Structure 1
Amino acid sequence: MLLEDRLVALIEPVVNNAGFELVRVRITGGQKKTLQVMAERPDRTMSAEDCAKLSRALSPVLDEADPIEGNYNLEVSSPGIDRPLVRLKDFDDWQGWPAKLELNRLVEGRKRFKGVVAGVDEGKVAFDIEGEEDTALFPLEWIASAQLILTEELIRQTMKADKETRQTTGEDEMETSQ
């Protein structure tokens, strides 16, 4: 089992118990490694306080399991506005939004595609490629990277969702009273 798979098995239950969904786990760096844990609330938002809360929940579990050789930094973050799409769920959730993806192999002479996320069809990523009539279907394991394209509408929708979450959770009141 790959290290990142072992880390997901260790981290995901903690993330879920804290009320979040795990988006991605990645290790970067050479001598000085960084363990990046990307998560979000079920409503696809994630505040700085959420990141701190999740970091506090993960630290003791990681300290005890000691899954990474040597020293490393833990970085907990949200997927961001132009978020990566890494799970089938992401492609389903973000159907209708412009995105770019890169495959780990050539398909019809190319690896990079730009277009609109068309959801999931029979366990494959459906993607409306710019300039093509038919919807392409890609197995998730063929996708090396994919992310939403930053647009004014995406920014507007993300800010609206964040504002609604802050009002629901009372975070706006907490920030203004500090």
Structure 2
Amino acid sequence: MSQQGPSRPFRPIAPRTLLDTPTAGPVAEESKVRRASTACTECQRRRTKCSANSTGAPCSECALHGRDCIIDEYADKRRKVARDRVQEELAYYRQFVQQLLAAIRHGKRTDVDAIINVIRSGASLEKIHLIVAQSLSHTNEADGHEITVPVRTKEPDGVSGNSSPVVKEPDGVSAEASPDGGLSAILNKDA
């Protein structure tokens, strides 16, 4: 039998030799097309290469075809930005639950009933949080209990559409505008 195989031997494999000129390195790197770490929504949808990192917005594909070049870093759940956002939301909700429990444990019966009624009415998280914070402030003033749960009236980005730090009620009463934090206005409005 004859041996089957290539008629000529393979060339030897050797490490790449470095060029002697120092200017050749950066020129070769600049000529490479670098892929964007996050593609714009149009390039993702069309599965094309996005050059938004190197050319800026709009990328070359969107500029060529006249499309809107929108880069959403929050869409990629693997990124540090998305992780930080989720951690912020978890910290917010943990604090919210701690405040709710503290308000139920240490609050007056009328305040606890108000919290339960607001929750059962299907109110927004902002309104529930406002009622809980006001109940905690009543508890601190009346009973002298020191509750160390900080009061927040702002939800993290992405949790709610409202990003203003002061929560305004529909009738114009805010937590800062009235001495009791607006709890009596909310209770009287629902009654």
Q: TM-score, normalised by structure 2?
A: 0.22
Higher helix content, 1 or 2: 2
More strand by share: 1
* Higher RCO, Cα 8 Å, sep 6+: 1
